[in-house]
Amino acid sequence: MAQTMTEKILSAKVGKPVTPGDFILAEADVAYAHDGTAPLAIKVMEENPFMYRVAHPERVALVIDHASPPPHLQAARAHTLMRRFARRFGVRLYDVGEGICHQVMAESGLVRPGSLVLGADSHTVTLGALAAFATGVGSTDIALVFAFGATWLRVPEAVRGVITGTPSPAVSGKDVVLDLLRQVGADGLTYKAIEFVGDGLRHLSVEQRMTVSNMVVEAGAKAGIFPADDVLLSWLGDGARPLHPDPAAEYVDEVIIDLSSLEPLIAEPPNVDRVKSVTDVEGVEVDQVFIGSCTNGRYEDFATAARILRGRRVREGVRCIAVPASRRVYVRLLRDGIVQELARAGCFVAHSTCGPCIGAHLGILDAGEVAVSTSNRNFPGRMGHKDSRIYLASPATAAASAVEGVIADPRRYLS
Amino acid sequence: MRVKGRAWVLGDNVSTDHIISGKYKFKAISSLEAMLPHLLEEVIPGFSEKVRPGDVIVAGRNFGMGSSREHAPRLLKMAGVGAVIAKSFARIFYRNAINIGLPVIEAREIPNITDDGDTIVVDLSEGVVANLSKGVRERFRPFPEEVVEILRAGGIVEYIKEHGWFPWAGSTG
């Protein structure tokens, strides 16, 4: 029977064909948690001696990224707890500064086309860009996966996301996923997987795809999967096998994203699906610009920002905070002089952390302040005070806004 | 399994940030109880003091959207909330709630007609939710048997403690 990528991956996991609606007990290839979710998972394991074990230490990782380096004692304590757990069970620990968990996992080589990846963070879906079935779960779930190697899943229905055309220079993966959110809304893909196909895929690098997969959860999706095509296989560069949906696979719905007609988009507060053309909100005054996060903290994101900021200055009165998603990204940016360009333009460039995106540290917004952020959520209070306002946009739009001090169209800078 | 209590009515798209803001999650290191006063604080001020055991949240679409933080359903349960009824749920909240033994029910009609303080009854085994104050009764799609077993045990950890393994066969750790 013709299968979606979701069905192929999950069927291989349980050793028999599965169909949407089936409940399965699935063994994870990779399981990870961060300092926001690992402490509760460790607590569950400690309180239940029959769970105080790790079935497959080589498949498990703990990542210190959410409040990193620790801005307060409680975070420091969480990190201590994680380090102790990692030593006790011999699992990988990615410590302060190594990066945001999803980026670190993408770089680790652990995630392969066809992998089942479970992470105790909603943005685990990011790894769907590597043709994995990757989905976020809670702390109890991840504790079960750590202890027993598996947890339960309901096989989701899949939606086909057809990406066609050729994008203009100021358009990137962020605009693609904002267009998706505009079309389907904040609960339009709830419980479902979305699988991306189409001739436009060849214009989307793996980094851009990670931005798209990252935000499918903002539409409620369980996974956002790209095929293992030539773009991915050459990025992996290690002889991984292709993975595509069968041509006759059954999808419950279809969404079409035309790159050729796409313009820079922006999501107005307070919801991710309040998506407008950047021209509709141009001129809104900005207090802070944040370029980074698991959504847009990769090399290309900062290279694009630097193209706009090079030889220009961040407008006086604006804080422009740039945070690479991993140490590896940071080192590449250093090597290529991009950190220097950003710093010269007046950006605050920090080591890798989730900090500003979740209002943890490094750029908390005050009441009444406005931010343009390349992150993934603009709910009230997400980055600080509940009466601050967050506009979500691409690194290009964010950088243009930093230069002008108001929400600005990046097409003036990139053509 | 039956739940009975007063309704607390909320709208669409209540996020886990609304339920418990991410900025408090590090308080959970010392104790989850320390986060309780902040439960739903921006939505229903003083909720954690006003709620009574068995009370029911009645919400619109996409309840629990956003972060995977399990603190959200745990704190609702700890505060005494007996069930959440919504038009739809975000999937991670939904599975977290099942895993920790908080009943989550998708209903079409009850969220439209319920006011704060109405008396709500949920019968999980029968697959029925009723608003006694309004005299409205609605059937919901019953859970798979395994999920009812998890809820009855009080959560998946309790279930495994009791039975030695998940309610689904397959896979070994």
A117 touches chain B (CB under 8 A): no
Please give the C-alpha separations between residue A103 and each of A78, A112, A274, A293, in angstroms, as whole numbers: 21, 14, 27, 9
DSSP calls for A384-411:
B-TT-EEEE--HHHHHHHHHHSB---GG
* Amino acid of residue A320: C
The DSSP bridge partners found for residue A243 are A228
Residue B9 parent element (H or E): strand B2-9
Assess whether B46 and B125 both reside in one domain. Answer: yes
Rounding to the nearest 10 degrees, give the CA dihedral for residues B60, A37, A218, A105.
-160
Low-confidence ranges of chain B (pLDDT < 70): 25-30, 170-173
Mark whether B33 and B50 lie in a shared domain: yes
Tell me: the pLDDT tens digits for A384-408? 998 999 999 999 999 999 999 999 9
Domains belonging to chain A, first-starting first, are: 22-152 (3.30.499.10), 158-261 (3.40.1060.10), 265-412 (3.30.499.10)
Q: Please tell me the predicted confidence (pLDDT) of residue B25.
A: 63
- Cβ contacts (< 8 Å) between B96 and chain A: which residues? 137-141
Q: Do residues A219 and A187 lie in contact, with contact meaning Cβ atoms separated by under 8 Å? A: yes
- Assess whether B47 and B117 both reside in one domain: yes
Question: How far apart, in whole angstroms, are the C-alpha atoms of residue A278 and residue A301?
Answer: 18
Residue B17 three-state SS: helix
Q: Is the ipTM of this complex over 0.85?
A: yes
Asked whether residue B84 falls in the same domain as residue B26, the answer is yes
Is B72 part of the contact surface with chain A (CB cutoff 8 Å)?
A: no
Look up the domain containing B8 and give its range.
2-141
CA distance A298 to B100: 36
pLDDT at position B27, please? Answer: 59
Q: Does A345 touch chain B (CB under 8 A)?
A: no
User: Residue A165 — pLDDT band, cuts 50, 70, 90?
Assistant: very high
CB A137 within 8 A of CB A41: no
- Work out how many domains chain B is built from and give that number: 2
Could you report the per-residue pLDDT of A254-283, keeping only the tens digit for each? 999 999 999 999 999 999 999 999 999 999
CATH number of the domain encompassing residue B129: 3.20.19.10
Pairwise CB contact (< 8 Å): A149 & B170: no
Interface list for A 359-398 with B (CB within 8 A): 359-360, 377, 379-382, 386
